[in-house]
Chain A
Amino acid sequence: MNGKGLSLVPKTDVKQSLKDFKSDQEVRWCPGCGDYAILAAVQSFLPELGLKRENIVFVSGIGCSSRFPYYLNTYGFHSIHGRAPAIATGLAASRPDLSVWVITGDGDALSIGGNHLIHALRRNVNLNILLFNNRIYGLTKGQYSPTSEVGKITKSTPMGSLDKPFNPISLAIGAEASFVARTIDSDRKHLQSVLREATAHRGTSLVEIYQNCNIFNDNAFEQLKDPEVRDDITVRLEHGQPIASASKAVVRAASGGLEVVARDSVSDDRILVHDAHNPDPSVAFALSRLDEPAFEHVPIGIFRQVSRPAYDTLMAEQLDEAATRTGAGDLSELLLGGDTWRIG
């Protein structure tokens, strides 16, 4: 929206290709994992940005998705469980010349690292957070995750999980996120279109990517990929466009929220026009709840994209202001600054 996401990151004049972003490391996810598709999509997207490769950093936590940085020929930091947003915050806040990405999963971001995620979002640190949501714990071999549906039968929940899942989009909007989107691993075109907007956004962009774990939670998002039904349940969000598919439309409900109705039951002027730039987050939040309980009408696209100063900018401004007000720091002057006395 503001198009300034990467304005401080130096550009290259060398033409880049996908190959430039492949590291020499063998990719080691399970055959058939959705992570391959996301990696390929990111590697083929990065050249489009035209950034100096050395100014790109991928930071991750722990989990299958968090191996991502090893496979990209940029700077990378594979950190510890849940803490990637915190580590990336320190990096991005002190280095506005870097394009900093956080690669995380539903367990990493929403369980152990939930606190760091919400605080990165509210601060609006200049980060692109890609949250791979496969609704299961993969690396620890198949326990339910904070996005698993209630009643999920797993090794740790043989009688079904009890806790209500997080909706990552609702959570992010509730945490004051300035950019929130959802996309799918298998739809490269859509994924890259969302990344394009996310990187152009200065501040934190949170992109939830539905990602298939074919070992522990196969076909979790099958309805969104099945040509028979996908057009029926996918609700595409495009700024300035009516939120409708061939068969369905989103309208304001009498209760004050939103509801999905049959497309042919309403006139065009009643269909909600998507406004991702709306400063009031309540409509975006309502959109994120459209799919409660699950997979009846799944909104895909950018829910919210509003402009607000990035944390590193504000921090740098305070430093500049302090230096302007009183001059650059002088150590000798600092030490002599209190009440001093001389002996001898």
Chain B
Amino acid sequence: MTKQVQQLDRVIIRFAGDSGDGMQLTGDRFTAGTAEFGNDLSTLPNFPAEIRAPAGTLPGVSSFQLHFADHDILTPGDAPNVLVAMNPAALKANLGDLPRGADIIANTDEFTKRNLQKVGYATSPLEDDSLSEWRVHAVPLTSLTVKALEDFDLSKKDAERSKNMFALGLLSWLYHRPTEHTIKFLEQKFAKKPDIAKANIAAFQAGWNFGETTEGFSVSYEVKPARLAPGVYRNISGNQALAYGLIAASVQSKLPLFLGSYPITPASDILHELSKHKRFGIRTFQAEDEIAGVGAALGAAFGGALGVTTTSGPGVALKAETVGLAVTTELPLIVVDVQRAGPSTGMPTKTEQTDLLMAMYGRNGESPVPIVAPMSPSDCFDAAIEAARIAVKYRTPVMLLSDGYLANGSEPWRLPEIADLPDISQEFTTAPNGEEGTFLPFKRDTETLARPWAIPGTPGLEHRIGGIEKADGTGNISYDPANHDLMVRTRAAKIAGIDVPDLEVDDPDGDARVLVIGWGSTYGPIAAAVRRIRKGGGKVAQTHLRHLNPLPANTGEILKRYDKVLLPEINLGQLALLLRARYLVDVISYNRVRGLPFKAEELAGVIQDVINSDQ
């Protein structure tokens, strides 16, 4: 039987199941196959904080969304074309996002009376006509898997565990994904348990063959590779890119990296990743708490290391006092905040942009710090280098604001040429800078206002620093009113004077009257929305901030150039507050704090409304 093959330009798949069903792994593997095939892609994992929430319940649902296309794309997609629902809870939790006509592949084995009751279905939606608007493929994934593994010496329970690989095989057939990769992966993952490896591979192949032979799937789909810029690519998540960026920053600054960190979702992966790369001379220190993590990083910076701490949510609050110490002692330090939904513990696995004002002002006294925010998973690499450049050059702590969406999301990354990476190295001070061979630890560079960085072990430059106000130049303890005023203003001027590139505006025809501005991880959804507007003939300009402090010098001029400025943020208007205060521009805020990224369609609607109101 020859099956029909249909060409598509893009597909959004969502795998959803119980948190124990291996949906993240399934999504990862499908992503790897898709990356290998050469599609552009973007992913959105979404999972509960509980390691094993009660099975079969709505809070226990874990999902992984993947958007892949034959052209460059900017987001993981708004609405799935296909939902793989491993149980009734997964169906119920995700059905609301599913547009009419989308495919649902449901694991019928799990639609038992008990499981249906758990999520409040009186009757099975697979059997009543409540799903008539969708194309439902009822597949007994569990029992087919168990049957496929009959010949293996496995308990029924163990065999059932491979059902995610059966599903992966079926989807791989449906979308013409290469299979070698997954087989190799399974062999490696279960290298020490060859029987389990073989069983998983058998389940995967059975899933593929099921698609090929069953009449339930009459059409398969092909999405051609994307025509991306030439180069070598790999798929990368934000946290991994950020970790690699820190390693690159260490190499490019010629400073040994010291990471002081305490595990916290969703930042822990950076600690895990850096811990694997000790051969770069990287010291990773899992501290007793958040405070010790940043303290140790600052201590290492005093000793001449590239000090880094990574955290999220409440961890940022705990580090505030030490960041203030870094501000006043003027030592380089990188504070990575992978923002998550708050306040307090909030929703650890969900994303938000709600720490901007905390980064900006969340310390006692006047304690300005530069803020850098990456705009996509792969951009975390460059943003980390940029944060390190500023920290080292200006001797200051830098807040690097990633978030849960960037951290766990992934996309293809065109690898940079190492030779093109910036040299961010600075010389340590080794010679006296005062009269008669004295050393003045707070005598500043006249251009950058940075103070000397003289590290222990340097003869003749012995000096003391600390949290008490220091006299200009000598650094001696000083309570002199005029000196304090001078030092407060000088520290502020140093940060305000950091060299950040001008903001660039994307306005193809140059005649848009509405500007949409964003920062950090909203870049993808905003840019996708802007494309939609332009496709429909609308005019809108877009610009995006990577430097939140200091803001690019031309920010005010750009804001004032447009009739209307729209600023979508995943908070209640934090950047809007800063822009309004600073530039007296009546920025229109659009805010949602649902723990999820914006959808392109949603933002397109908001932009269109602003354009309409400008007529």
Contacts and interface: CB of A to CB of B under 8 A. Distances in A.
Nearest to B240: A338
Contact of B457 (A78, A98, A319, A332): A98
A102 to B, nearest CB: 11
Contacts of B307: 90
B467 A80 contact: yes
A152 B278 CA distance: 51
B236 interface: yes
Contacts of B231: 342-344
Given A25-B476, A90-B300, A341 B292 contact: no
A338 B234 contact: yes
Nearest to A10: B457
Given A91-B302, A94-B300, A97-B457, A53 B288 contact: no
B235 interface: yes
Contacts of A195: none
B299 A78 contact: no
Given A78-B468, A90-B296, A319-B281, A95 B457 contact: yes
A341 to B, nearest CB: 5
A65 interface: no
B239 to A, nearest CB: 14
Contacts of B297: 90
A121 to B, nearest CB: 11
Interface in A74-95: 74-80, 83, 85-95
A249 interface: no
B486 interface: no
Interface stretch (B44-52, B84-92, B244-252): B244-252
Interface in B255-305: 256, 258, 260, 277-283, 285, 287-289, 291-292, 295-305
Contacts of B258: 90, 93-94
B192 interface: no
A326 B278 CA distance: 10
A125 B277 CA distance: 22
A86 B465 contact: no
A95 B251 contact: no
B247 A329 contact: yes
Interface size bracket, A side: 35 or more
B415 interface: yes
B187 interface: no
Contacts of A78: 464-468
Interface stretch (B9-17, B30-38, B369-377, B497-505): B30-38
B228 interface: yes
A91 B303 contact: yes
B283 A77 contact: no
A252 to B, nearest CB: 36
A163 interface: no
A194 B132 CA distance: 84
Interface string B122-146: 0000000000000000000000000
A83 B295 contact: yes
A322 interface: yes
Given A75-B462, A87-B299, A319 B279 contact: yes
A327 B299 CA distance: 28
Contact of A334 (B277, B303, B321, B459): B277
- Residue among A318, A323, A335 with most chain B CB within 10 A: A335
A85 B260 CA distance: 13
A53 B233 CA distance: 51
A90 B468 CA distance: 21
- Residue among A91, A119, A331 with most chain B CB within 10 A: A91
Contact of B283 (A319, A327, A343): A319
B461 interface: yes
Which 6 pairs between the two chains have the least Cβ-Cβ distance? A344-B230, A78-B466, A90-B296, A90-B299, A329-B280, A86-B295
8 contacts: A70-B464, A74-B462, A87-B298, A98-B457, A329-B247, A336-B232, A340-B233, A343-B232
Given A94-B299, A116-B295, A326-B279, 14 more contacts: A25-B476, A75-B464, A87-B296, A89-B299, A90-B260, A91-B299, A91-B300, A93-B285, A98-B457, A116-B291, A335-B244, A335-B415, A339-B35, A341-B233
